[in-house]
Structure 1
């Protein structure tokens, strides 16, 4: 079972993804991609850790901001959850932003991730943000991020068995309802 969970910021994606993953196995590997560069981000990360502890499901947490495809391929658990792809993409974009072929390099990483996701045999739940609903970003880096994020989400949604959109804490399964041309 390959699952993609998307939605806006603070929409309830992570909580839903964790609860759904807990229904797919008796323990899991939680791959966290966030990096704490300031106190506010440290607090967000600690809140996520605390929420996981309080839900009563056993997670072995791996913090991996870059080597996500490799970490997925070696994850050994009844269920794997990755939170969040948007932060992983941000990590790569900030790391490569001054490279002349940054978009191509990151697209390659996205392809590696999609291949790893597609090759997983057990349940995998990926969490990502839906960032394309807002205004066109004013700065080039923001536009590149929005475009890469959209392409990444489309690629992973094609591979996923289920795709959920979480809005206002309400998950709606999308893929089974998708219109087919």
Structure 2
């Protein structure tokens, strides 16, 4: 591992500060000087998770959450109610987003909720040509398919299926 200049250069680049032209990643084992496969695996897993699952969990439900002003108002004009006392309709209309704000918010969250790349494990361009690496990708795709089947089975028993982290809904990359 120490003798692989490509891996070592990549490790140095991801931990180098952004001001110095790097990525500024924190928490990389051994400050990016990889000594073991496990250190590399931990780093790659964190990056892949953040750019796929983490992004899907944070982004794709935004329209469903924020598109309806009464269920989850993104903007409130004035202070929220301080108690459980009923408020009149006029008060509600004064604190929720106006029509222009609401339509803007709905448009933004709709765009942010759209998946624009292929799903995890299915790449836009096939750049992997090494037979052992191709086999690893195939195994990964099989694992994702099995996870998807498990989620499908569980969702059949749910009143409200949870689809956001189904492998077929998780993108390969962040695309906004």
Q: TM-score range by the shorter chain?
A: under 0.3
More strand as a share of residues: 1
Larger C-alpha radius of gyration, 1 or 2? 2
More helix as a share of residues: 2
TM-score (norm 1): 0.20
Q: Which has the higher contact order (CA 8 A, sep 6+)?
A: 1
